[in-house]
Amino acid sequence: MAKTTELTHRLCTLIYFVIMAYCLLNAMYTVIIGGTTFYLFASFLLVLQLIFALRTSLNSRIYTSLGLVLLIVGLLYNHGLDFLSHLKAIILIPALMLTLFGLDSIYKHPTRLMLLKIGLVLGLLLLAYSQYYELVELQNYYNSLHNGETWQQFGAL
């Protein structure tokens, strides 16, 4: 049983890092072609939260919670008090899941831990989809300018 849980833990960790690598690359590409930098900032914070959430020390739990607070402050700065009605508020789902990893009561119940891992994967997939959606919107905006150039030539490319 110990080998099975260790294998699922490693598999989940690999899935987390693959999705976060996609989110980071997508956010960097969006910034390069002239999009918003919020997703890049948020992806860096989520990667740091993910690294600290996988550790079990008390300091890492504090840093994981600090990541959620920084994301809320960033959303407040960008969108004001109606930040929860914006598409970028999806970033709070994986941040909240990573913050919940710091609770001791989660590790005592393996079913709760597995549900939290599934929720984190789903939250990261939602984040990746919302980043992809905003990238498509940016491409469509550049396509609507109709000056004979492709959308890539409007950014830094």
List the domain boundaries for the chain. 34-136
Q: What is the mean pLDDT of the chain?
A: 77
Question: Got the DSSP string for 142-154?
Answer: HHTT-SS--GGGG
Average pLDDT over residues 39-62: 77
The band of 1, judged by pLDDT with boundaries at 50, 70 and 90, is very low
Q: What DSSP line would sit under 70-90, residue for residue?
A: HHHHHHHHHHGGGGGGSGGGG
> What distance in Å separates the CA atoms of residue 120 and residue 95, rounded to the nearest whole number?
9
In whole angstroms, what is the distance from residue 76 CA to residue 86 CA?
A: 11
Distances (CA, A) of 140 to 14, 144, 150: 33, 6, 11
